[in-house]
Amino acid sequence: MQTRIRSLAIVLILLSAVAPFSFSQQKQAPKSYVFKGKVESVGQKGLMVANEKIEGWMDAMSMMYAVDKPEVLKTIKAGDQIRATVYDGDYTLHDVQVVPPQQKGK
């Protein structure tokens, strides 16, 4: 009986020592941002976009961006206004959507 209790105590001690380490090793999901911009050109591997300022992440600028779904390059054209999701530390546009042009006066 004492051997079982001692074994259980050892297992509990090991688990309590390992648990905090395993939780601290988990990565947090990167922060996401809404990306808005105007497509300047469409390339074979990405889009040249004049993006709006992304508060807390990036100033307004023109830059080439990769896209998460290459088939989107067949449907987007220069001049399109787009919206997408970007993640901290990643310059890939995710879930790119063409935004209909806003009508003046509305």
d(CA 9, CA 27): 30
pLDDT at 20: 54
Helix (H) or strand (E) holding 33: strand 32-42
The CATH class of the 32-99 domain is: mainly beta
Q: Report, as an integer, the average pLDDT of 76-82.
A: 97
The DSSP secondary structure of 34-96, one letter per residue, reads EEEEEEEEE-SSEEEEEEPPBTTTB-SEEEEEEES-GGGGGT--TT-EEEEEEETTEEEEEEE
d(CA 74, CA 91): 20
pLDDT at 101: 78
pLDDT at 19: 52
pTM above 0.75, yes or no: no
Asked whether the predicted pLDDT for residue 11 surpasses 60, the reply is no
